[in-house]
Structure 1
Amino acid sequence: MPDGLWWLPSLLVFGAATAALVVGMVALRRGGARRERAALAAGAAAEVRAKGLIVQADNALRDADRELAFAEAQFGADESRALRGAIDSARAWMREAFILQQRLDDADADTAAERRTWTSRIEGLCISAIGALEDAESALAGRRRTERGAHAELPALRAQAGRIARRRVEAEAMLGRLATRFAESALATARGAELRIDASLAAATASLDEAEARLARSEPAADLLGSAGDALARAGRDLDEIDALELALARAQADASEEAAALDGELVAARRERDAQEDPDAAEALGTAIGTGSAAMADRAALAGDPFIDRDRLRACRDRLEVARAAARNAQGRLDGARGALGGAIAIAESQLRVARAAIERGGHPVGADARTRLAEAERQLVIAHQEPDPVAALDAARRATSRASDAEALALYRGF
């Protein structure tokens, strides 16, 4: 090749590479376009579905607007507040859905990813709107069913009020009979229930009268009937409480008799324990509990008119007496345990004292004052252990004597070296 054409091979190489690059880019672009067209075609079904939801939600919104007008005329604005709120929310969601649908319908080309995102958002907005409207309208339909049943519920509640009024008269007669046998304090709960029954009956009657007047004017009355039903239910519970009083009084009398018999037996046992008790504090506490229990037994006749108070007082006295007896038994057990251990503790202390004395004597003059002081204290504590009448205090002294004697021995051995 002539020297003037030395650049020709390089030019051919660069040209071939450029051509290959151009062909590759064209192929890549064509492949991307094919994939984009495929994605757009795949999303077409979802877009059709979204358009159907828009129509469905818009029709539901229009129906709800008409339903709101009927509801406000029938129940008033306050009772229709839930439906109005659902309509406002649905309308806001639908505004956004229409904007997104307009973007999908524009002539400007959109990517498949954008169209999928907008379509999915439209579906979610429409489903939310339809669901909110259906829930609100369902609640309103339930209210209408309740109102339709109000005409049948009113006479049923009137009959229930009549039955409760008759039971109220019977309860008053029963309480009159019980008042001849029991104190007024035993009937206090029932007297309070009587007052509540009268108030509940008055409230129920007023609600029923107003409900009847509203129904006559074709106005809503379910709320008044609900209030009347609640008041009658309260009155019924209070009447049940009064009806159970006679049985409760009889049960309290039987319980009081059982408590009295049990307390009498415990008082006898507690007096024996008090007389045998060596601990003065325990004996005093036991004596106080015995006095309280004896007073409760003596006052039973005065409390015969109120078996509840009689039973509770006897039960409280038994509880206090049981606590005092348990404390006395613990104190006596502590004394008996100390008494049983005292002999061994004194023997140990005496043995340790002998060992300490021997150590001091072997050490002679070098043994210092510390060891001798410990030994003297040990001897003093041993004397206390022999003379102390309280076995617990004597046992403590014997143990202190052993400890001081051990200290004296250790100090004597240390000084001896």
Structure 2
Amino acid sequence: MADGLWWVPSVVVLGIAAVAAAGGIAGFRRLGARRERDALEAGRADETRAKSMIVQADSALREALGEVLYVEAQFDEATAAGMRDSVDAAQRRLREAFLLQQRLDDAEHETAAQRRAWTEHIQELCESAIATLAAADDALEARRRDERDASVEVPQFERRHRALAARRDEAAAMLGRLDGRFAPSALGGAHTALDRAGAALAAASDRLGAAQVRLARRQGASDLTSAAAGRLERAEHAIDEAERIESDLEAAGADALAQAAALEDDLAAARTERDMADDPEARAELARAIDAATRARPGVADAGPPDPFAARDRLRVARDRLEVARAGVRAAQSRLDGARGALGGAIAIAESQLRVASDAIGHGGRRIGADARTRLAEAERQLVIARQEPDPVAALDAARRAASRASDAEALAAYDLMAGR
């Protein structure tokens, strides 16, 4: 090849490379376009389902809008407001879904990914709107069931009201018979219970009357029937309490008689313990408890018509106080007996310790100081108290102090002897 044509092979190579690159780019573009077409085609089914959901949600919304007007006429404002709020929320979501669907319909050059995102959001909005309307419809159906129940319950509650009112009248008549036989304090709780029953029955009657008016107007009344049921329940409990008064009085009277019989036995035992008690304070406390229990006996404290509840409680308190005082006497006596038993040994120990201390001081002579001698003198004084004290507890304490002082005197004497060497 002539030297002037050296560049021809390079041009040929570059041309071949350029042709290959152009072919590759065209191939990639054709592949990308094919993939985009495939993605768009795959999304058609989702877009179709989204349109179907829009139709479903719009139909549910139109039905709910018609229901709102009926709810406003049938139920109270709170129920209607709740339904309107649910419808408004569903309407806002469906409006947004319509806007997105319009974008899908108008879009010509949007990517498959963008269309897929819009489609998924449309489906989410429609599902949320349908669920909101379904929940509101369920709540409304539950309220209607309540109202249907209310139309059945009102006559039932009225019959129950009449029965309770009759029971209250019978209980009032029974209390009238008991008023002359028992003290007002015994019957006060029953009268109060009947007053509560009367107030509850009156409130129930008012609510049942208002419920009848609402039902006649085809309005909601479940709140009134629920309130009436609660008042009837209170009335029944109060009437039960009043009706039990006669049996409660009988039981309290029987208990009071049993308490009175037991108190007589307690008093007899307490007088014996009082007479045998050695501790003056415990004996005085028991004497006061005996006097109080004696005054609490039936026939002594009662005046006028009886109150079995008060008599029973009074006797219980008297027996409890008497038992506490008797326990105090027993404890004091036990303490005295224990002191008496220990006193002889404590005096013997003190005497022995005194002899040891006295011998130590005597043997030490002038080397024993004043401290040891003072302790010895105090020990001798405490020993005299222990022998002369009539109270065994105080005598025992004195004997123990005597032994302690004598021990101190011995120790001090030993110290003085060691120091004097």
Same topology, TM > 0.5: yes
CA contact (8 A) 2:296 2:314 kept: yes
Alpha-carbon distance in structure 1 between the residues aligned to 2:370 and 2:310: 71
Alignment correspondent of 1:370: 371
Give the letter aligned to residue 185 of structure 2: S
Alignment correspondent of 2:255: 255
Secondary structure at 2:274 match in 1: helix
Alpha-carbon distance in structure 2 between the residues aligned to 1:288 and 1:136: 76
Give the letter aligned to residue 174 of structure 1: M
CA contact (8 A) 1:374 1:404 kept: yes
1:136 deviates by: 4.1
Counterparts in 2 of 1:126-137, with a 5 A limit?
133-137=133-137
CA gap 1:272/1:205 in 2 versus in 1, 3 angstroms: same
Counterparts in 2 of 1:4-23, with a 5 A limit?
none
Secondary structure at 1:302 match in 2: coil
Counterparts in 2 of 1:321-332, with a 5 A limit?
321-332=322-333
CA contact (8 A) 1:303 1:310 kept: no
CA gap 1:50/1:258 in 2 versus in 1, 3 angstroms: farther
* TM-score (normalizing by structure 1): 0.77
1:80 deviates by: 3.5
Secondary structure at 1:353 match in 2: helix
* TM-score (normalizing by structure 2): 0.77
Alignment correspondent of 2:362: 361
Alignment correspondent of 1:191: 191
1:195 deviates by: 1.6
CA contact (8 A) 1:304 1:310 kept: no
Residues 168-220 of structure 1: CA deviation (Å, up to 9, x unaligned):
22212211222232222211111112222222222222222222222222222
Alpha-carbon distance in structure 1 between the residues aligned to 2:348 and 2:104: 108
- The answer on 1:72 being equivalent to 2:52 is no
Secondary structure at 1:219 match in 2: coil
1:408 deviates by: 1.1
Alignment correspondent of 1:407: 408
Alpha-carbon distance in structure 1 between the residues aligned to 2:211 and 2:371: 101
CA gap 1:340/1:73 in 2 versus in 1, 3 angstroms: same
CA gap 1:413/1:309 in 2 versus in 1, 3 angstroms: same
CA gap 1:89/1:336 in 2 versus in 1, 3 angstroms: farther
Alpha-carbon distance in structure 2 between the residues aligned to 1:103 and 1:353: 119
Alpha-carbon distance in structure 1 between the residues aligned to 2:113 and 2:148: 54
Unaligned runs of 5+ in 1: 1-32
CA gap 1:413/1:195 in 2 versus in 1, 3 angstroms: same
Point out the more displaced range, 372-381 or 361-370.
Answer: 361-370
Alignment size in residue pairs: 378
Point out the more displaced range, 145-154 or 297-306.
Answer: 297-306
Alignment correspondent of 1:338: 339
Alpha-carbon distance in structure 2 between the residues aligned to 1:136 and 1:79: 10
Alignment correspondent of 2:273: 273
CA gap 1:209/1:358 in 2 versus in 1, 3 angstroms: same
CA RMSD, aligned part only? Answer: 3.8
CA contact (8 A) 1:147 1:220 kept: yes
Give the letter aligned to residue 73 of structure 1: A
Identity %: 54
Alignment correspondent of 1:398: 399
Secondary structure at 1:365 match in 2: helix
CA gap 1:110/1:410 in 2 versus in 1, 3 angstroms: farther
CA contact (8 A) 2:181 2:305 kept: no
CA gap 1:110/1:369 in 2 versus in 1, 3 angstroms: farther
Residues 270-290 of structure 1: CA deviation (Å, up to 9, x unaligned):
111111111111111111111
